[in-house]
Structure 1
Amino acid sequence: MTWWEDLAAAEPEFAERVRARFAVRKHGTMATLRKDGSPRISGTELEFGEDGLFIGSMPGALKALDLRRDPRLALHCPTEDAPEGDETSWDGDAKIAGRAHEVPGPDGSHRFRIEITEVVLTRVGEPGDHLVIESWHPGRGLRRRTRT
């Protein structure tokens, strides 16, 4: 299993840039799988700590029940638009995929520690005619590619 702190130790600069994308606002977006296998999108708050990456939810929340049934999830950072006419100054877009492991939460709430299976950071390159996509996977490490 690979946790956030493993990524932060292996690629600290990349991990910090990803974490900064999630910190631009309080709420990110999470995708889970419903009982019938269809996707569910929910708002969620992420907590990056020295002991891992966590999400929480209210007792009995559907997203928590989804994760108990099927722990696979995808997280997307809050989105910010690039300044008009200056796309290359956009700090990018971050995504994390993984599996949720339930741990004790306060006051009966749900709390999950996230096992990392993929982390992706996308931004506009310079000049602004291409995307720069950086991705990290356990066992493979950090890769960078461009796309026009």
Structure 2
Amino acid sequence: MTSWTEFAEAAPRIAEIFTRRHAATGNLCLLATLRADGSPRISPLEPRVFEGELWLVGMPGTTKFQDLARDPRFCLHTATVDTEVTDGDVKLFGAVHDVRDPVLHQRWAEDLFAESGFDLRGEVFDQFYAADITGASAVEVGNGHMDVTIWKPGRPEHVVRKH
């Protein structure tokens, strides 16, 4: 299992682009999951990094969380609005696991409230997913070329330049 902290240490270039793009969009990303019939689903999500983990938490009962309960695999993509991708773009691949720890949930809710003013303190969370990152890629475009940075666990990130 690769936590956010482990990922950020192993793939600092991709983690930096993710962090920058995540902040630039007000924390909005697009989450790809698999429907019951195996077809893909894309849903908006505001993932959070907290206590060294990437958390995929949101409104209970939504289809994206039903998908993850059935099949934990996901792809998380930074929301891109620039067709030139001048500020970069990241995809994180992995699987989630549900963390049943009410004390952790409340620390997370306190941190969310302190950071954003959004108040989930005292809420009981049906699903509280930590991401196990199993791969990642980033794209940066500029000066007549595109750099694709790729990372897999146990290997250093590497850049493929396309002209």
TM-score class, shorter-chain normalisation, is 0.7 to 0.9
2:77 counterpart of 1:76: yes
Question: Which secondary structure does the structure 1 equivalent of 2:24 belong to?
Answer: coil
Question: Which secondary structure does the structure 2 equivalent of 1:141 belong to?
Answer: coil
The offset of 1:139, in angstroms, is: 1.0
Question: Which secondary structure does the structure 1 equivalent of 2:37 belong to?
Answer: coil
Work out the CA distance in 2 between the residues paired with 1:32 and 1:11.
23
- Check conservation: 2:10, 2:157, Cα contact below 8 A: no
Unaligned runs of 5+ in 1: none
Question: Which secondary structure does the structure 1 equivalent of 2:150 belong to?
Answer: strand
2:140 counterpart of 1:144: no
Q: With CA pairs under 8 Å and 6+ residues apart, which has the higher RCO, 1 or 2?
A: 2
Work out the CA distance in 1 between the residues paired with 2:65 and 2:96.
9
Partner of 1:115 in structure 2? 132
- For the aligned residue pairs, the C-alpha RMSD in angstroms reads 1.8
The offset of 1:13, in angstroms, is: 4.6
**Percent of residue pairs bearing the same amino acid type:** 40
Deviations 1:52-86 (A, max 9, x none): 1011122211111100110000011011316xxxx
Of 99, 121, 131, 2:146 maps to 131
The offset of 1:18, in angstroms, is: 2.1
When the two structures are superposed, what TM-score results if normalisation uses the length of structure 1? Answer: 0.85
Runs of 4+ in 1 over 6 A off after TM superposition: none
* Cα 1:14/1:94, change in 2 over 3 Å: closer
Q: Which of the pair is proportionally richer in helix?
A: 2
5 Å-filtered alignment, 1:13-24, equals 13-24=13-24
Work out the CA distance in 2 between the residues paired with 1:12 and 1:35.
35
Unaligned runs of 5+ in 2: 106-122
* Cα 1:42/1:14, change in 2 over 3 Å: closer
Work out the CA distance in 2 between the residues paired with 1:29 and 1:140.
26
Counterpart code for 1:93: D
Partner of 1:3 in structure 2? 3
Partner of 1:94 in structure 2? 90
When the two structures are superposed, what TM-score results if normalisation uses the length of structure 2? Answer: 0.78
Counterpart code for 1:135: I
Counterpart code for 2:96: A
- Check conservation: 1:56, 1:109, Cα contact below 8 A: no
Question: Which secondary structure does the structure 2 equivalent of 1:15 belong to?
Answer: helix
